[in-house]
Amino acid sequence: MVVLALAGDVMLGRGVNEALRGMRPEEPWGEVLPLLEAADLRIVNLECAITDHRRRWERTPKVFHFRADPAAVEVLRAARIDAVSLANNHTLDYGERGLLDTLECLERAGIRYAGAGRDREEAARPAVLEAAGERVALVAFTDNEPPFAAGEDRPGTNYLPVSLEPEVLGRVEAAVGAARRAGARTVVFSNHWGPNMIERPSEGFRRFARAVVDRGADVYYGHSAHIFQGVEVYRGRPILYDTGDFIDDYAVDPRLRNDRSFLFRVGIEGGEPRRLELFPVRLRYARVGPATGSEREEILDRMELLSGELGTGFDRREDRLELTLPGG
């Protein structure tokens, strides 16, 4: 069985970037690093530009701009990250130049990416990964920041509104088909979607996620809310509505607790998702670590509640939640 690890938003800019100058590249991952290393493949949502370019996006108003020095890519390498999603609302925080620098930095580091590119075609291209004979593709979209969308000859993101319109679902089907033609047996559909600090997916978002599975995606990998949401299993496929944050410098909401999340691990066999494991984590400034004690229990309780509302029940272990998936 090939194990795929998925984490939510990894933001290496701003305060994290400053902290990294006094840290070893592996330090931000803390004691979560062995859980990542135990997986065969690792994917995160990279929510910043990696560039020395200092001129911010100016075409439309924007409050937050996240930029990390090129040396920050060593943090990703330290965790052996295989691929990142770049389809999000911070990839072009430092303009097209910042995005191009990010692409080149990742390419030099041997890290694959999906969801942004030098033009519309590259932004839509899947990243295909292989481990132990299993080929897994990452396709990535976002409904955030429409002005960031790539054009025929313009760098940008793989923008897609959340909708059941035939044109939108046609693009989903085309993306999954391209991943299959590239040799992937398993397709991970990454989507940076919706507003921040939302505890539960709307019914419209649930319908969209199921429609994505109906069009061939094997794992729905959502992020953007900054807090984890419940897990649904539909036609034997896991829908991770929101995987929360993972590394950042963000202020913590005392009620919504955006400093609590999970490392999600999916066991894949014969191209099919067969097992899901959720390891609770606690975020501190520029670091992540396993949650412990009463806080771990509160995080597990919260995920069981949210997932139970979606019809999903887990087997609870001391340090994680587990679920055997029935297959398609």
- Cα–Cα distance for residue pair 304/127, rounded to 1 Å: 32
Q: Answer whether 67's CB lies under 8 Å from 20's CB.
A: no
Residue (of 227, 238, 231, 209) closest to 313 by Cα position: 231
| 191 band by pLDDT with thresholds 50, 70 and 90 | very high
pLDDT of residue 34: 98
pLDDT at position 328: 52
> pLDDT value at position 193?
98
Q: Which residues contact 22 (CB under 8 A, 6 or more apart)?
A: none
Q: Which two tokens stand for residue 262?
A: 């999970």
Who's near 121: CB < 8 A, 6+ residues apart? none
What's the sign of the alpha-carbon dihedral 169, 174, 177, 182?
A: negative
- pLDDT, tens digit (0-9, with 9 covering 90-100), for 70-124: 999 999 999 999 999 999 999 999 999 999 999 999 999 999 999 999 999 999 9
pLDDT at 311 over 70: yes
pLDDT above 60: residue 150:
yes
**Around Cβ 318, how many Cβ atoms within 10 Å?**
7
Does the pLDDT at position 245 exceed 70?
A: yes
* In the chain, domain spans: 2-324
Please list, in sequence order, all residues whose beta carbon lies within 8 angstroms of the beta carbon of residue 196, skipping any fewer than 6 positions away.
224, 225, 226
Kindly write down the DSSP assignment for every residue of 207-235, as one continuous string.
HHHHHHHHTT-SEEEEE-SSSB--EEEET
Give the number of C-alpha atoms closer than 13 A to the C-alpha of residue 99, restricted to the C-beta side: 29
User: Maximum Cα–Cα distance for the chain, whole Å?
Assistant: 52
Q: Is the pLDDT of residue 327 over 80?
A: no
Residue 171 amino acid letter: R
Report pLDDT for 326: 87
Question: 3-class DSSP state for residue 236?
Answer: coil
* Average pLDDT for 244-271: 97
Q: What is the pLDDT of residues 34-78, one digit of tens each?
A: 999 999 999 999 999 999 999 999 999 999 999 999 999 999 999
Name the CATH topology of 2-324. Purple Acid Phosphatase; chain A, domain 2 (3.60.21)
How many Cα atoms sit within 13 Å of 213 on the Cβ side? 24
Mean pLDDT taken over the chain: 97
Q: Where are the beta strands (DSSP E) in 230-297?
A: 231-234, 237-240, 245-247, 260-269, 272-284, 287-290
Predicted pLDDT at 257: 98
Percent of the chain with pLDDT over 90: 99
Using pLDDT thresholds of 50, 70 and 90, give the confidence band for residue 270. Answer: very high
Q: Tokens in use for 55? A: 């001129």
H helices then E strands: how many in the chain? 8, 20
In degrees, rounded to 5, the angle at the alpha carbon of residue 199 between the alpha carbons of residues 7 and 236 is: 60
